[in-house]
Amino acid sequence: MFDIQGRFLMKYKLFTSIDRKPNRKELIMKNLRPTKLLRPLAFQLGITCCAVILPASASAANFYSGANCVAVNGTPVYVDGMVRNVSTTSGLRVNCPVITDGIRGLERAGVRFLDYSAASNVNCILISRSSAARAYDAAPRIESSGRGGPQSLASAGVSGGGAGYRIYFECVIPRRAPGEQSSGIEAYFALEPL
């Protein structure tokens, strides 16, 4: 019960009698607590869950106000962070620039707009063009589904980007008929692969 120096020997009482020393398995089981066993398992389970839940490719999302759009023809009105066409005679063509950090283009992009025109729809096309005009890529045209107020449309991505490339939405905002509210672009976004 006591060692040579008179200390009480109770620490091995659970596994052994006082007469023998604990074997290796008994020492390992005594020193391992459930948290020591479960911590690596929980960590591995967390990594596995993240790999299943998160998409295979990461993207950087860039959001822009419609006020960033620049008129190509016509006279825009900028109000509440939007660009609107108040003309009753002609559509407004605007370019909405997208800033990219990489050279791989865009995975996806989209436009949120207000379409109050009964005459025609808001339509946009995402364009990637080299400054030397040697390369050009465009996603399929996206178009509103008709008069209906706020709408969002997603576009496919484009290749190209980085130094020497300009990526932008080219949009046509329809004219305003008498008695209608003016249509406009509220915001747009771009997803760039990392």
Residue 9 pLDDT > 80 = no
Residue 18 pLDDT > 60 = no
β partners of residue 110: 154, 189
Domains (range + CATH), the chain: 1-54 (no CATH), 59-193 (2.60.120.260)
| Beta pairing class for 82-85 and 76-79 | antiparallel
Q: 138 falls in which pLDDT band (50, 70, 90)? A: confident
**Closest to 66 measured CA to CA, from 81, 76, 77:** 81
- Token reading at 102: 């990489």
Q: Considering Cα of 62, then 64, then 68, then 71, what sign does the dihedral take?
A: positive
Q: 72 falls in which pLDDT band (50, 70, 90)? A: very high
Residue 62 pLDDT > 60 = yes
Q: Model-level pTM greater than 0.75?
A: no
Residue 64 pLDDT > 50 = yes
Q: Write down the residue that tokens 């993240």 correspond to.
A: 50
Q: Cα–Cα distance between 124 and 118 in angstroms, integer?
A: 17
